[in-house]
Structure 1
């Protein structure tokens, strides 16, 4: 979730987008690659889910473009307006609202107050609803009650303003306090306590805050404070974390400080295949070199740069790559009329959606199954579906969101400045 900043204005903030993905803590049974038990504490928090939620592909695409691109077609925006050391740890990754997001219960303060937050590899700020949040913004969200923490310390003159690329924002005051992230305890971590949040946060009652895990992006605290990511990495046995998102499932997990060999096909000889991060990148940005569409011989060979972002549901790729895929989908069309430009296709083609394959210079190929390539029914026609792969302008970075990340076991290795992928059994 990319961020920028602009002067604050004390009027209601525009909507902030939340797509895809983070986690809820579930009872853990954590084992290392040698089978030994490496974590004993477990936490379970029931999520405030909406069983009637139906993903909206047009809204998801509009939000994703606003997040990562300044070029959102006016018609698409109108369509959206018309609708919406020696430490380690594990957090369960539970799908909420049809894989729209994955939430995790993270503890803040002393004693820990657990909130359902959204782990975001596309941003660096850690902010939560708090006892400072305006009553009209809190609604049914849980809050971090600062006075209940024995170790909460205000940062002198500390303020923060986060404005995301879609123009939405939040702001508040800065504190330091303890964080429990899957049994990894981070003391004196920078926590941003919200005073006001944007409308979409208010309406999404599942989410109590954002937990940024970008590679080296500074946070938006003033005066400048260390990111939680920079405080976390030295505590870990290995300076890395892993992501195993699971399609419509509560069986996924984030792990911190270790690679869980039981979560990918290590027993069959599979290993993690690494790709270096782009030089100077503050995001988890890397290159892939080829695209292959299952069931055809079409192969596109080039050098593509992409960002792995748990905070985006969709894959956003350049127009020629998207067209290559949808040329293999019967009846697919780039719908300009009612949605401002979005790939759709007849829903009856769903069983025949081809796989989407991305190749890396190290020889590894990630296969996104065809069944993951569908995102939702088109809001304006029940017999039309919206794809999980959409277009981002060719001069913007490509984004590999949860549609991609559900297909692999992913290792975010800050120590070696690389990202790794391995094959796993898919739900």
Structure 2
């Protein structure tokens, strides 16, 4: 259990001054020790750990790597408590390859067969000072010079953490924290580094939307925005499949970029489209592509801003059934689809072609893995491995029909042995 107080420090002069204090009332303070480390916060593409109420980070130090699972609780008081579980290794190792331990079991229970991806990085220059009451180690002061990095964006700030140590008492922690609040005049921090990083992560997605100029004036009054986790629950979306399709989609998007030439800022849109593509299944499995389209015309994940949310209903509609020129012609005459800018229509079709392949590659639900994507030959050859690879590769070949209508370079799928 982590018990601490957190404060924002407004300026470098205040930061440096406080680092040089040698006592607080009856408490003595040790000499400062400077540390530097780098945190990578991780989660699945559907944010399964976050949805479970936790953050998960990998902290790289000079001689070790510390993985930490922390509970997420809003800090509404001076002192706050969070559950914390750690596991230390000599180097970075995927969770699935760890020796059996409590943290491994807890994380795998949250993520299932999903893979972990970096959300953002946090670089620290930390100065630690130890607080004593005579011989008892009461608390640790951590003065953090923080840089959060997410894509091309950064957030830089200074903060102080006051953490209770094993020999300390909570009333002593209150005394120390009250000193920094009342006498030093620091503002109590209510956001964790994860909170700040996640805010930056979501801001990046908003910037993606702004950078893609489709010439649409905001007109989203008929769209209801809801957290994607709520949509998962309300429509009973098959989470493992949605996550796998999202993983496949992004791998294909990245590898096939020389062919599809889509703007890289559409990557997150593809991710969300993959996560909700089966939103209509529990309502009517036989026409779930149409049901899903209609749901997403009126309801969108709040994490995906307007107008990128306009991609989702049409990508959901196009992910199922065979597609030929006649069907595309009919779609172009659809009143709602035809009102979209021509560039957006074109991008929707290309993104749908990728989504169809990604969805097909998980037909067997046996965790088939893309192991090679070869663009050097006349046709693209994608190799798939796993117990259901033959079934999934065959299905992907069938669902490459839209890709073949849009691109000159054909694509074929093969089982890899």
TM over 0.5, shorter chain: no
Instruction: Name the structure with the higher strand share.
Output: 1
Question: Which of the five TM-score ranges fits, normalised by the shorter chain?
Answer: under 0.3
Instruction: Name the structure with the higher helix share.
Output: 2
